[in-house]
Structure formats: C-alpha cells, structure tokens
Amino acid sequence: MRLGWLSDTHLNFLSAPALDAFVEELASQQVDGWLIGGDIGGAPSVGSYLRRLADTLPSAIYFILGNHDFYGSSLAVRSRLASVIAGSPRLVWLTSAEPVALSPSVGLVGEDSWAARFGDPWSSPVEIRDFHAIEDLVGLSCNTARPEVRGLTEQSESFT
C-alpha cells in the first residue's frame, strides 16, 4: 500500500489558483490513500477543504485535526465536521474511527493534537496563539489556568 502524507498544509493561506494547483497535483499522485496530520485550515473553512479533497482525490483520506483547525471558532468544529464526514465515505476522521487495517499486520490510528494535553507547555515562556484564536480558550493562559486548559483538552477527546 502506498500512502501520501500531508502535514500542516494550512490551505487557508493559499490563493484560489494556488489551491486549485495543489489539489490537482495531489490528484495526479499514484497513492492508495492520503494521511493528513492536522492544521488543514481555519475553523470556518476546514470542512470545505476536506469536502473538496474528498470530491477530487480518488482515494481515501485519513485525517486528524490540529489546533489551527479550531482557529476562528471553538471545539464545536468537531460537531460541524460530523456532517461533512457523513457525506463522504472517503473521509476517515481517525479520532472518531476504529483502527484502520492497512495490512494484516499494520493498522492506522490517530488522535487530534493538543499541545496542552501532552508534553510540558506549562514550563514554556512562549504562549501559543490558541489562547486568542479558539473561543473556548480565550482569556485562559497556560501559565495561569492549567486545570481549565487540561479539562478542555480532555473534554475534547470525548466528543463522540
């Protein structure tokens, strides 16, 4: 099985002609599926980008969401994506899917990424933009609201 891997595409930063060229290039690749590792586009457009890819690419698209996919909205992006997924059998949201068997000995699993869930963001002197761009996090801070941020990220894992 041959898979293509895309990560941090940030399609919302492409002009319409550049997006057309990018999707056309993907469609020309000889792959059995695509892996998309989050940060597809901002919240207002992530669903339309996924729909466009599913309508254009001839193979399955396995994806997770990254923090930038919530920018401009809230964790409600998850429930809005449910209808996009339901409308396209080629879209597989790994966070809400059962493990995908790629071969008898290889499976594919995935989880939406959250910097505050793993690692040690509390010790970093850098405050990520999430606290200004995701409605559920506005007004919180890694340095002052550890329990609230941990709770939101743990809550986001049980959206189904």
Q: pLDDT tens across 12-32, in order?
A: 999 999 999 999 999 999 999
Q: What is the pLDDT of residue 113?
A: 74
Domain assignment of residue 124, yes or no: no
Domain assignment of residue 70, yes or no: yes
Domain assignment of residue 89, yes or no: yes
Burial of 64 (0-12, 13-18, 19+ CB in 10 A): buried
Q: What is the pLDDT of residue 60?
A: 95
Q: Using 50, 70 and 90 to split pLDDT, how confident is the model at 116?
A: low
Domain count along the chain: 1
Q: How many CB atoms lie within 10 A of CB 88?
A: 15
**CATH number of 93's domain:** 3.60.21.10
Report whether pLDDT(148) > 80.
no
Q: pLDDT tens across 57-86, in order?
A: 999 999 999 989 999 998 889 888 988 999
- CA distances for 113 relative to 14, 17, 27, 154, angstroms: 23, 29, 26, 11
Q: What is the pLDDT of residue 137?
A: 81
Domain assignment of residue 13, yes or no: yes
Report whether pLDDT(129) > 80.
yes
Domain assignment of residue 24, yes or no: yes
Three-class SS of residue 33? strand
Q: What is the pLDDT of residue 160?
A: 43
Average confidence score pLDDT of the chain: 86
Domain assignment of residue 150, yes or no: no
Q: Provide the residue range defining the domain that includes 14.
A: 3-113
